[in-house]
């Protein structure tokens, strides 16, 4: 009898996607959470316009608002990456690898 426990794979590519859906399949609220996250990592350019970090990108995948996170953020801003992971886990949001497979990420 095989009693091994199967776990979801860990992120391996260059990006992860945090979906705006909970693991229970419900839309995450507030609906502008992706914009809020991107804005919190943004800075103003010399033209005085707000510029999103190149490591966080708003996306729509299958009609769902998502946050694309470049895994380089983990090296450049470990505290910021940890905050994002904690946010996703605390709110039970789906996390996908670059190929769209469901994965787990640790705080």
pLDDT for residue 105: 86
Q: Considering its fold, how many domains does the chain have in total?
A: 1
What's the pLDDT score for residue 12?
52
pLDDT tens over the chain, length 107 residues: 444 444 444 555 699 999 999 999 999 999 999 999 999 999 999 999 999 999 999 999 999 999 999 999 999 999 999 999 999 999 999 999 988 899 998 86
CA separation, residue 9 to residues 3, 13, 47, 63, 103 (Å):
18, 12, 42, 24, 5
List the CATH number of the domain containing 24.
3.30.70.2340
pLDDT at 13: 63
Question: Which pLDDT does position 33 carry in this prediction?
Answer: 97
pLDDT given at position 88: 97
In a domain, 9, yes or no: no
8 in any annotated domain: no
Domain presence at residue 88: yes
Its pTM stands at: 0.83
In a domain, 7, yes or no: no
Residue 5 lies in a domain: no
Looking at the DSSP assignment, which residues form a beta bridge with residue 44? 50
Query: Closest Cα to residue 102, out of 37, 9, 33?
Result: 9
Q: Which pair of structure tokens corresponds to residue 67?
A: 């946050």
By residue range, what is the domain housing residue 65? 15-97
């Amino acid at each position: 009898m095989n009693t091994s426990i199967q776990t979801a794979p860990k992120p391996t590519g260059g990006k992860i996607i945090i979906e705006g859906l909970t693991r229970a399949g419900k839309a995450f609220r507030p609906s502008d959470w992706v914009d809020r996250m991107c804005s919190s990592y943004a800075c103003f350019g010399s033209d005085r316009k707000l510029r999103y970090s190149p490591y966080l990108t708003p996306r729509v995948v299958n009609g769902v608002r998502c946050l694309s996170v470049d895994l380089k953020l983990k090296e450049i801003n470990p505290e910021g990456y940890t905050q994002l992971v904690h946010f996703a886990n605390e709110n039970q949001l789906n996390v996908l690898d670059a190929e769209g497979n469901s994965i787990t990420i640790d705080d």
